[in-house]
Amino acid sequence: MKITKILVALSFLFAVTANAGELTVTGNMESTYSTEGNTATTGNPLGMDKELKFAGSTELDNGITVSVMQDTTDALVFSNSQISFGNIMGLAAVYVGSDHDPMDAVDDITPNAYEEANGSGSGTYTDIGSNASQMGVGTKFSVPMLGNVNFKHYPKIDSTKNADNKSSGDANGNVGSANALTITTDLGGLIPQASGATLTTGYADYEQDTDATTNDGNELTAALNYAYGPVKFGYQKKYQNQGQAASTTDAIFYKDDVMGIAYAVNDALSISYNIYESYKHTGQIDNAAASDQKQKTKAISIGYAIGGMTIGFQDAQTSNANHVIDADDDTRTLGVAVAF
């Protein structure tokens, strides 16, 4: 729900004129009560999440749409920003900024009623989409039969967000570039019998070090989601090779399996059961070190929506937390979130 809508005149350096644009401010706040069952010291269990997003849009006389966004962190300081040009030749959109990494957007897209399996802090996972906050340029378009494509290129993954007319120079000069690509395919459009099924695939690569003797990092994922009436089911596989920051260090690999099933009791109430398994390998991918234990989280979630407010509860249990044998990390979280 928009809390303010102001007509503004946005001026851009184009050979065509721009129509009056629109500026909106949206946001959300969530308060949580979280406890951990495997620690003697809990401290204050109350937590707060808050975020604001400023977004503006306009349309040029040639039909191209222009939109900008700027969001904030929990500390309400500026975070990610993006400028996007849509409807280019009626086919594609091009965007520039530090938001909307394709792999980060699909890091866990299995259905849930409130949070992902590890969304309430149970377990310590290393996920795909590691370049989410980097500056890059991307494009989105649709391909017949194949589906929606999202590609982004990062010229330098040095974690800098330059001001205009600036470059990052020698900051983290040893790192290189990165790419990320996802494709979302409606299987029902290919096979009528597969109506309700969606296949999402993704790939990313990045240079941890420009030294030719080191291995680049890469990420892969494939997720199959299916919806039938009030029931949604999803299964996702993920792989991440973190590459080498130096030729003398071993690369670390993660192979993850994620599953979720959600049931909508009615328009407001839903429940879900989610499982997240992560296998860590140090060195050779088929040779896990003795300390690299399989981490597994099982979670039950309940979500209840009342207009712009959502009340959620999750009970999550993690074994071999952070891949340490016999380390448990169980959490119970009650949250109240309001979007505006």
* Residue ranges covered by each domain of the chain: 5-339
Radius of gyration of the chain (CA): 22
What would the pLDDT profile of 93-139 be if each residue is shown by its tens digit?
A: 999 999 889 999 999 999 999 999 988 889 889 899 989 889 999 99
Report strand pairing: 331-339 vs 21-36: antiparallel
User: What stretches of 125-262 show up as alpha helix (H) in DSSP?
Assistant: 187-190
In tens, the pLDDT along 237-296 reads 999 998 776 666 777 889 999 999 999 999 999 999 999 999 988 765 444 455 678 999
Q: Render the burial of 2-13: b for 16+ CB within 10 Å, e for the rest.
A: eeeeeeeebeee
Closest Cα partner for 45 from 55, 54, 35?
35
Q: Which residues pair with 94 in a beta bridge?
A: 85, 139
8 Å CB contact between 317 and 298: yes
Specify the pairing of strand 92-97 against strand 21-36. Answer: unpaired
Which residue has 């999202």 as its token pair?
A: 150
Q: Is the pTM of this model over 0.75?
A: yes
CATH fold group of domain 5-339: Porin (2.40.160)
- pLDDT tens for 146-157 read 999 999 999 999
Q: How far apart are CA 180 and CA 141, in angstroms?
A: 14
Q: How many CB atoms lie within 10 A of CB 53?
A: 16
